[in-house]
Structure 1
Amino acid sequence: MRVLLTGSSGWLGRTLALLLAENGHDVTGLDVVPGADTQVVGSVADRALIDRAMAEYGIEAVIHGAALHKPDIVRYPRQAFVDVNVSGTLNLIEAAVAAGNDRFLFTSTTSLMVRADVRGGAGAEGAWWMDEDFGPLEPRNIYGITKLAAEQACRLIHRDHGINVAILRTGRFFPENDDTHAEPSGPNLKANEMLHRRLTVEDAAAAHLAALERITDIGCDTFILSAPPPFARGEAAELARDARAVIARHYPEAEALYAAEGWVLPDTIDRVYDPSRAERRLGWRAQSDFASVLAALALDAPLPFAHDPDYTSPIARQEHDACTC
């Protein structure tokens, strides 16, 4: 299948381009930043560019991973988020319809589900259990607002034109340090997040491949992507009070393995992302989870997730290089 992949120079895009090619797809990358997997350099906000790319490369399906993200809020005005995240998405899916494509994948984010009260901590019943029916959705910043608007635009075009749409709300998979949490350390925090809100970039890419292959049997649906949590919904209250006790029930070896590494387990967990719909409908399940982290610690092997405190997104790196020339 001839696939247009936007965001092809980015962290997910590079991984996904390779996986698609390995599975027999002909990938055309589009990004504002040049890269090894990018054939078309330009913005998704440029409809004429998109139309030319669709025609020149004979595109049959679109995977839209390009976006301005939360860290970009300090670098760009709100209008830029509207232009790229909303107008760019609409440009792509309308072009896909015009080209006769039968499937469109949109990389969204679990961030748009984090309302002010979710951000503030656990709810009255304990840890928030966040599946695709969680609501109301009240994003707390322009990034979340525009990603939600783009989701709605995808649903509208599906209703009006019948194109099959998979909306993939990914949990965290970035390699750099968290920009809001200094403690615990980067790898320790990422390991903790594999319990309830993180997945590897490889698993995120695999979910996109599964959606590309299965969405024509589904029509239009939204999927949360995260490593499978070990917890049951009935443990939500205890997770908010004493997460270590819950973790110890599921992983009695965790405390000692963490202590040997000088790491700390979370005292509380205030939200759990539930990816079970993706497993049921797409046949996808993350291959790496918290058990994978513990197995790596036990064997002194590489951790299943990437950690690179010096990682900079291609667009931020390009801007930095332009300013220092």
Structure 2
Amino acid sequence: MRILLTGSSGWLGATLAPRLTALGHEVTGLDPVPAMQTRIVGSITDRDLVMRVVRENGIEAIIHSGALHKPNIEDHDNGAFIATNVVGTLNLLDAATSFGVERFVFTSTTSLMISQAIREGFTGGARKAAWLTERMSPEPRNIYGVTKLSAEHLCRLHHLQHGLPVVVLRTARFFPEADDMAHAIEQSDANTKANELLFRRLTVEDAAEAHIAALEKAPLLGFDTFIVCAPTPFRPDDCAALITDAPSVVARYFPEFPGLYARAGWTMFSSIDRVYDASRAGDRLGFVCKTSFADVLATLSAEQGASSSGRAQR
């Protein structure tokens, strides 16, 4: 397929573009920032540019991963978020329906599912962790979440009005930057990200593969929205204990974890306040992330085994 990939210079775009090319697709990267995989330097806020790119390149599918993100709140006003995340998405959807694009994949975020009320519960001593699924009605707490949810609604509208097949992927964290959560101060970056694979993270490689799965399934699904996150071992009835004593819950599922963590000098979060349930993506989209917390433990075990063997030989 001839695919337009927005955000092609970003962390996800740089991982996704070569995978699409390896599958035989012709990828046109569009991003305001120059990069090897970005063929057209420009903004999705430029409606004429978007229309021209889709028309002149005979685009058959659009993967829209370009956006202003939560960290951009510090140096961009609300208008910039609306222009990029809402109007930019509208430009792409209008181009898709105007020029016969066959499928559309939109990169959304689990962040929009955390309302102010849920946030206050986390910081004010919630009685149990929040179990988050696609069935909940989001009430975003910041301009990033508001604009991503608005873009989701535009995607649904274009499906309803024009029959455009659209898959929305609410991705959990996969960014490479250090964590901004309060408890991250107590753990190394690698330790923090490993812990988060239990409930709110995935690798960028898995994020890219989820987009490929969505691209393939879009015509069959028509319109659908999926949480994309590493599979959690937890169940809803774990939520009360996750708030009060997360390490004991983790140890029930992974008895080897305390010893492996101790030898690595790592610690588990004392409390886990939310769990993203990505099971629906497995059921409907046929996609499950390959990397999970179990893989982290397997890597630690292999490294520690190799280290012990090396010391014994000396």
Partner of 2:119: 119
Distance 1:29 1:189 in 2: 32
Question: Which segment drifts farther, 248-257 or 183-192?
Answer: 183-192
Structure 1 residue 279 corresponds to structure 2 residue 269: no
The answer (yes or no) to whether the contact 2:126–2:243 under 8 Å persists in 1 is no
- What residue identity is the alignment partner of 1:267? S
Structure index of larger Rg: 2
The answer (yes or no) to whether the contact 2:6–2:31 under 8 Å persists in 1 is yes
SS in 2 for 1:58: coil
SS in 2 for 1:120: helix
SS in 2 for 1:222: strand
1:297 corresponds, among 296, 300, 303, to 300
SS in 1 for 2:186: coil
Question: Normalization by structure 1: what TM-score?
Answer: 0.90
Structure 1 residue 248 corresponds to structure 2 residue 251: yes
Distance 2:292 2:218 in 1: 25
- What residue identity is the alignment partner of 1:242? D
Runs of 5+ unmatched residues, structure 2: 305-314
Distance 1:25 1:260 in 2: 45
Distance 2:199 2:180 in 1: 19
Per-residue deviation, 1:180 = 4.2
CA RMSD of aligned residues (A): 1.3
Distance 2:190 2:289 in 1: 19
Per-residue deviation, 1:125 = 6.0
Point out 4+ residue stretches in structure 1 off by more than 6 angstroms.
none
Sequence identity (%): 56
Distance 2:161 2:187 in 1: 47
Distance 2:174 2:121 in 1: 22
SS in 2 for 1:291: helix
Per-residue deviation, 1:119 = 2.0
Runs of 5+ unmatched residues, structure 1: 302-325
- What residue identity is the alignment partner of 1:149? S
Partner of 1:304: none
Partner of 1:160: 161
**When the two structures are aligned, how many residues end up with a matched partner?**
300
The answer (yes or no) to whether the contact 2:51–2:95 under 8 Å persists in 1 is yes
Distance 1:96 1:183 in 2: 47
User: C-alpha offsets along residues 25-77 of structure 1, whole Å, 9 cap, x if unaligned?
Assistant: 11100000011110111000001001111122110010000000011111111
Partner of 2:130: 128
Distance 1:54 1:157 in 2: 17
User: C-alpha offsets along residues 271-311 of structure 1, whole Å, 9 cap, x if unaligned?
Assistant: 0001111111111100000001111111129xxxxxxxxxx
Structure 1 residue 216 corresponds to structure 2 residue 219: yes
Per-residue deviation, 1:260 = 1.1
- What residue identity is the alignment partner of 2:75? R
User: C-alpha offsets along residues 179-203 of structure 1, whole Å, 9 cap, x if unaligned?
Assistant: 3433322111101100000000000
Question: Normalization by structure 2: what TM-score?
Answer: 0.93
Partner of 1:151: 152
